[in-house]
Every structure is written in structure tokens, then in C-alpha cells.
């Protein structure tokens, strides 16, 4: 029997010299090595990618899907970025170049052990919701809504874990809205994507007083690797397991990476205001995103910001123009929203009793408790 504290590994490495080296390193780190045919699932499967990379990757994907292996490390002569990304997408944890660097391999095994000792049920079992907030036009209040929605979600229930991610490149304003001076931004993630795991991400996030964890965008254009659709898939996959809600200030970008983010989101909050050009944009967005298959209509929620009853355009006209019902209307209150922004505080701190704040708190409640959403949504225009 294996001594306690060992982990079960399997090898899919045909080359004898390499298999021997990996076996030694695994045994040195107190791993038990199961024969390839052993019916027990491997906690760690080590695969030599070899020349048939594509075929190998599909069998790795299948092993992960079936639960035959909990984690996979790939060792490979080539580090073709396409293959690397594909490997990440299917959930490969480590990609180690050949010739094998013993120290690098050992630290990968250490990271594996750290992941295994993380409290079960805490990071591993969560399946959080990704909520993207997207502006139908610039300046309609996307950042205000993303920031205050995240804070309201976090404050709505003790222990609820909420992250706030800024996808606006260069003009990300979340640190100003929350008066924080983050050490890291998502450039840190894109630069180190092969190292990304819960621990790394946790160290990259900045905690705000309200409990939300913030990942801002870079403040300079130079010197960072832009996020790709693959990177975002991986990042959001990990964030879902760490948080109950991941709120994204998606700005207005519709490049491939942003589309991937929208596609991955459970909900897309499309922010609009009662102006004809903005409503026309919202209509185009709803149609394009759903017709092209990025986001099905039922996952889109139209959020009407800066609403006041005396507007020349009625809610019914607006809905007819957009071609979709308005899910929520947030009252117009320029002074309070500006006071919050200029003091670097969330609305809940600056004006907890204001109608605009209450509306965002209710919106958070409707998202967290979809059962209550229908009833709450009926009240959307009645403040």
C-alpha cells in the first residue's frame, strides 16, 4: 500500500529515458505511480505530447471529461502557442518543455499539491455566475452600474464572494470609482497565463473595503500582452470556481476577446438610456449578438439607466424600439452618481437611502435570487 500523503499518478510517455526521469522525479516527491491500465483514476496524468499533438490532446480531453484523470501535465518538445492555448482550453494545468528541467517539474508538482490541499468545497466546487455589463454607447453609466452592482451583490449576503473585472483597455476607471491603488492588473495574468491558478489569481486581485476583489485593466498601452479569447476563457473558468459572482465592466468593445467574454457570460446587462441613438444601438446589439449566436436573447437583460418618468420616450416605445423588454430601470440622479464617483466610494457608502442606490441593490437581489426577479422586475418603473 502507498504511504499516506502520496498522490496517484499515471504516465502516458512511451520514450523510455523520459519515462524513467519523470518516474524518479515523481517518486522523489512522494507520488505513487499506477500502471497505465490500472482502473483507478489518476490524480495526476503526465502526457508526452509527441508529434501527434492534436490526437493526443483529444485523448487528454476525454480523460479529463470522463474523470479518468483529475489533472494533466503535458511535456512537449514544441511550445506551439496554438497547441498551448488548446491545451489550456481543455484544462491542462501545466505545460513543461523538453528537455525536462527537474527544478521546474518539481515546482509544478508542488503547485499540484497546493491545489489538492485547498479546502474542498471552497474553491473547487463553486460555480459562480459571470455578469457582463456592456454599454450601448459611451458614457451611459456602464462603470457606475458594474461597480455598484458588484458592491451590492457582496453586501447583500455575508460570505458571498464577488469579483469585479475591468475589460476597458487604457480607460479602465474602476480604481478611481473605488479609490484603490491596485498593484496588479490583468496584464499580469496575460503575461503569466501558464502559471494561472487560484493562488496566483488571488495574489493578483486587490481587495476593496466592501469585500469585492478587483482586477483592473492596465493604465498604459505598452508593455502588456493583450488578452485573447483563450486567455479570457481560462481566466473566467477559474474565476467562476472562486467566486459566486464575477461582474465585468465590459465597456463597449466588440473585438474577438470581448465577444468571447460576452459569450462566456451567464448574463449580459446591456446598458441603455432613453435617447433615440442609444436605443437604436441597443437594438443593433441585441440583434447582432443573438443572430450571430454569441449571446442568446434570453441571457440579455436591457438595463435602462438615467430613467425619469417625464422623458419624451415612454418605456413602451423604448421596448418597441429595442425589440426586447426592459429588465430594469435605474432612476436618473446625476448629483448622487457624481458624488460617488468624485469621492471614490460606492453609492451604498455615499447615499444608501437614495433611489438610485436602492435600485442597484434591488437589481443585485434580482440577480442573486432569480425567483424574486420576476416580482421585482414588475416594479422596475414604479419608483
Ligand X SMILES: Nc1ncnc2c1ncn2[C@@H]1O[C@H](COP(=O)(O)OP(=O)(O)OP(=O)(O)O)[C@@H](O)[C@H]1O
Residues engaged in binding ligand X (CB under 6 A): 135, 138-144, 251, 305-306, 330, 332-334, 337-338, 341, 356
CB of 136 or CB of 142, closer to Mg ion? 142
Q: SS3 string of the chain?
A: CCCCCCEEEEEECCCHHHHHHHHHHHHHCCEEEECCCCCCCEEEEEEECCCCHHHHHHHHHHHHHHCCEEEEEEEECCCCHHHHHHHHHHCCCEEEECCCCHHHHHHHHHHHHHHHHCCCCCCCCCCCEEEEEEECCCCCCHHHHHHHHHHHHHHHCCCCCEEEEECCCCCCCHHHHCCCCCCCCHHHHHHCHHHCCHHHHHHHCEECCCCCEEECCCCCCCCCCCCCHHHHHHHHHHHHHHCCEEEEECCCCCCHHHHHHHHHCCEEEEEECCCHHHHHHHHHHHHHHHHCCCCCHHHEEEEEEEECCCCCCCHHHHHHHHCCCEEEEEECCHHHHHHHHHHCCCHHHHCCCCHHHHHHHHHHHHHHCHHHHHHHHHCCCCC
Judged by beta carbon distances under 5 to 8 A according to partner kind, the member of ligand X, Mg ion, none in contact with residue 334 is: ligand X
CB of 72 or CB of 271, closer to Mg ion? 271
Judged by beta carbon distances under 5 to 8 A according to partner kind, the member of Mg ion, ligand X, none in contact with residue 333 is: ligand X
- Which residue, judged by CB position, is nearest to Mg ion in the bound state? 143
Judged by beta carbon distances under 5 to 8 A according to partner kind, the member of Mg ion, ligand X, none in contact with residue 341 is: ligand X
Strand 326-331 relative to strand 7-12, pairing: unpaired
Residue (of 273, 272, 249) closest to 262 by Cα position: 249
Contact status: 143 vs Mg ion (CB under 5 A)? yes
Judged by beta carbon distances under 5 to 8 A according to partner kind, the member of ligand X, Mg ion, none in contact with residue 306 is: ligand X
CB of 251 to Mg ion, least distance (A): 6
CB of 73 or CB of 134, closer to ligand X? 134
Judged by beta carbon distances under 5 to 8 A according to partner kind, the member of ligand X, Mg ion, none in contact with residue 338 is: ligand X
Judged by beta carbon distances under 5 to 8 A according to partner kind, the member of Mg ion, ligand X, none in contact with residue 332 is: ligand X
Strand partners, 303: 271, 328
Judged by beta carbon distances under 5 to 8 A according to partner kind, the member of ligand X, Mg ion, none in contact with residue 296 is: none
Considering only the stretches 140-148, 260-268, 272-280, 317-325, report the one whose residues sit in contact with Mg ion under the rule CB under 5 A.
Answer: 140-148
CB of 196 to ligand X, least distance (A): 27
CB of 349 to Mg ion, least distance (A): 19
CB of 137 or CB of 224, closer to Mg ion? 137
Site size for Mg ion (CB under 5 A): 2
CB of 216 or CB of 251, closer to ligand X? 251
CB of 22 or CB of 165, closer to Mg ion? 165
Considering only the stretches 143-151, 192-200, 328-336, 370-378, report the one whose residues sit in contact with Mg ion under the rule CB under 5 A.
Answer: 143-151
CB of 122 or CB of 308, closer to ligand X? 308
CB of 141 to ligand X, least distance (A): 3
CB of 139 to ligand X, least distance (A): 4
Q: Which residues bind Mg ion (CB under 5 A)?
A: 142-143
Amino acid at each position: 500500500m502507498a504511504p499516506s500523503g502520496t498522490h496517484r499518478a499515471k504516465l502516458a510517455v512511451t520514450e523510455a529515458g523520459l519515462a524513467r526521469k519523470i518516474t524518479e522525479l515523481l517518486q522523489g516527491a512522494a507520488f505513487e505511480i499506477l500502471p497505465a491500465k490500472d482502473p483507478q483514476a489518476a490524480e495526476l496524468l503526465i502526457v508526452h505530447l509527441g508529434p501527434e499533438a492534436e490526437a493526443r490532446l483529444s485523448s487528454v480531453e476525454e480523460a479529463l471529461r470522463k474523470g479518468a484523470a483529475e489533472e494533466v501535465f503535458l511535456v512537449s518538445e514544441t511550445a506551439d502557442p496554438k497547441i498551448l492555448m488548446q491545451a489550456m482550453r481543455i484544462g491542462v494545468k501545466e505545460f513543461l518543455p523538453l528537455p525536462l528541467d527537474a527544478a521546474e517539474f518539481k515546482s509544478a508538482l508542488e503547485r499540484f499539491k497546493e491545489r489538492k490541499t485547498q479546502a474542498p468545497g471552497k474553491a473547487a466546487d463553486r460555480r459562480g455566475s459571470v455578469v457582463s455589463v456592456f454599454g450601448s454607447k459611451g458614457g451611459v453609466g456602464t462603470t457606475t452600474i458594474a461597480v455598484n452592482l458588484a458592491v451590492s451583490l457582496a453586501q447583500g449576503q455575508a460570505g458571498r464572494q464577488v469579483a469585479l473585472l475591468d475589460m476597458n483597455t487604457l480607460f479602465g476607471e474602476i480604481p478611481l470609482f473605488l479609490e484603490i491603488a491596485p498593484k496588479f492588473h490583468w496584464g499580469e495574468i496575460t503575461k503569466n497565463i501558464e502559471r494561472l491558478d487560484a493562488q496566483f489569481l488571488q495574489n493578483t486581485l486587490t481587495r476593496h473595503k466592501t469585500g469585492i476583489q478587483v482586477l483592473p485593466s492596465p493604465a498604459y498601452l505598452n508593455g502588456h500582452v493583450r488578452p485573447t479569447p483563450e486567455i479570457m476563457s481560462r481566466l473566467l473558468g477559474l474565476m467562476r470556481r472562486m467566486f459566486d459572482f464575477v461582474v465585468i465592466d465590459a465597456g463597449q468593445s466588440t473585438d474577438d476577446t470581448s465577444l468571447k467574454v460576452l459569450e462566456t457570460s451567464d448574463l449580459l446587462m446591456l446598458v441603455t438610456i432613453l435617447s433615440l441613438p442609444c436605443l437604436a444601438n441597443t437594438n443593433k446589439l441585441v440583434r447582432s449578438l443573438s443572430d450571430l449566436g454569441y449571446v442568446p436573447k434570453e441571457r440579455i437583460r436591457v438595463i435602462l439607466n438615467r430613467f425619469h418618468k417625464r422623458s419624451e420616450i415612454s418605456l413602451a416605445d423604448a421596448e418597441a424600439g429595442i425589440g426586447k423588454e426592459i429588465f430594469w430601470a435605474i432612476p436618473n440622479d446625476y448629483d448622487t452618481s457624481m458624488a460617488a464617483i468624485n469621492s471614490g466610494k460606492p453609492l451604498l457608502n455615499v447615499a444608501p437611502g437614495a433611489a438610485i442606490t436602492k435600485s442597484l441593490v434591488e437589481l443585485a437581489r434580482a440577480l442573486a435570487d432569480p425567483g424574486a426577479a420576476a416580482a421585482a422586475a414588475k416594479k422596475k418603473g414604479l419608483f
